Structure 1
Amino acid sequence: MDTALLAVLVENSNNGDHAQNGWKPHVYNACIKHVKDTCNVDITKENITGRIKTFDKQYEIITKMLAQSGFGWDWVKNMVSVDSHEVWSQYVEANKDTRAYRNKVVLNWESINTIYSKDHATGAGARTGVECVQEPQDNPLLEKLLRCL
C-alpha cells in the first residue's frame, strides 16, 4: 500500500502540489483512488495523513543520520548502514529516538526522499531523474540548443 500511496505523492510533488503546509486537496482523492485501484484497499484522508506523518518522521531521522560521518544508505538492504558499532553507539546516545533505525528496513526511501527533500525542484521546469535521462520529445527549445552544440 505504501508503494502505491507514495507513487501518487511523488507524482504530485513533482507537479508542485506539495506545499510546506501540506498537500493540495485533490492529491488525497488521487491517493484514495490509486490505492483502491492498485491494492483493493479502502483508505481515508486520515489514513493518508497518518502515513504522511510517518514518512515525514522517517525522512527527518534518516536524513540527519546520513548527514553524519560514518553513516550511509544500503540500497540493497534498504536501511541505514553504519561504519562501526562505536559510531552507532555515540549517535544513539545523543539521539535516543533513532535507536529503532539500526536494523529498520525502509523500502520506499527513494520516494520518501524525493517528496521531502528540501532542495527538490518543483514547478513547471521540475523533472524526475527518469525524465532527465529520457530522450527529448517535442521540446523546441532543447532541440534548438542541441543544434547549436
Structure 2
Amino acid sequence: MDSSNAPTKKGRSCIKWTDAMDKAMLDVFVEYFNKGDRAQNGWKPHVYTAAVKKVMEKCTVELTKDNIIARSKTFDKHYVIVNNMLSQSGFGWDDDKNMISVEDDVWNNYAKANKDAASYRYKVIKYWDMISTLYNRDRATGEGARTANESTAEMAEEIANTTATNKDANSSTKDDEDRPKKRYRSDDSIATMLGDKLDNFTAVFKADAPEPPPKPASPEEIWALLGGIPELEDDQLLAIYDVLVADDRKFKSLLALPERMKKKWVLKKIST
C-alpha cells in the first residue's frame, strides 16, 4: 500500500504511512461512520481531530489534519479504481493477497482502456472491507443511506412497536375471552334464525305428538255398506248397525271383507 502522501503542500509535512497507521485512522473513521458523522464531501472536523489523536497515540508519530485528509483521499482513489474493476466481468478480490485477481488477457484489455488503473495489477491494498464501506458513496452519503445507529434505532423502535402491538393484541384477546360473547345479526338474520328455530320446534313437536285416532265411520257410510249386503232382514240390519256404530274397528273389518263373506260375518256377529 502507498506509504506516503504526494504531492507535498505548504503546511503539510510528507510522512510515510504504515499499515498500523492506516488501521488506526480507518478504525476512527468506521467508529464515526457508524455514528453518522460522515459529511457530503468528507468527514466532519471533529472526526479528523479524533483520527489525528488516535494515530499519534497508537503509532507514536507526529502528523496533522492535512495528513489525514490526504491519506483519506488516497483511499478514496483506491476505492474508485478498484471498485470499477470489480464491477467488470473477470475481476475478483483476493482476500489472502489483498489485491485484485484477474487473468492476464482480461487485465491487458482492461488496462489498455483504463490507463489510471495500470499500477493496480499487483497493488496490495489492505483493509479493503473497511475502505469499501467508508468510501462507497452510495452507502456513505447517497440518498437514503443509513448509519448503523439509525438502523439500530429503527430496529429498536420496530421491536418496541411489535411488542406493544402484541401486548395490546393479547390484552384484547384476553378481554374478549373474559367478556360474554355477543353476536350481532341483521333483521333478516334474526328472522331467518327464528324461522329455523320454529321449524325445528314444530318438527320435534310433531315427532313427539301421538297420531290422532282415525275418524270413525259416519252413519251414512255404515248404512251404505249394509245396504249392499243382500237378503238381510230389518231386524238383522238394525242389530248389526248398532254393533258397527259402537265399534268402528268392526266396521273397518266388514269393509275389508270380500262381498261373498260379508253376510256370513254379519250373521255371526249378531248371533253372539
Q: Which protein has the bigger helix share?
A: 2
TM-score normalised by L of structure 1:
0.82
Q: Which amino acid is the alignment partner of residue 125 of structure 1?
A: E
User: Residues 1-149 of structure 1 correspond to what in structure 2 (within 5 A)?
Assistant: 1-82=21-102, 84-120=103-139, 121-123=145-147, 124-126=149-151, 139=156, 141-142=158-159, 145=162
For 1:125 and 1:17, the matched residues in 2 are separated by: 12
Q: Which amino acid is the alignment partner of residue 65 of structure 2?
A: K
Contact 1:13–1:122 (Cα < 8 Å) also in 2 = no
Q: Which protein has the bigger strand share?
A: 1
For 2:160 and 2:46, the matched residues in 1 are separated by: 34
- How big is the shift at 1:142? 3.2
| Number of residue pairs matched by the alignment | 137
Q: Which amino acid is the alignment partner of residue 35 of structure 2?
A: N
Greater RCO structure (CA 8 Å; 6+ sep): 1
Contact 1:14–1:126 (Cα < 8 Å) also in 2 = no
TM-score normalised by L of structure 2:
0.47
- How big is the shift at 1:119? 3.5
- Mark the CA change 1:51 to 1:13 in structure 2 (over 3 Å): closer, same or farther: same
Unaligned runs of 5+ in 2: 1-20, 140-144, 167-272
**Sequence identity of aligned pairs in percent?**
50
For 2:131 and 2:35, the matched residues in 1 are separated by: 16
For 1:126 and 1:36, the matched residues in 2 are separated by: 32
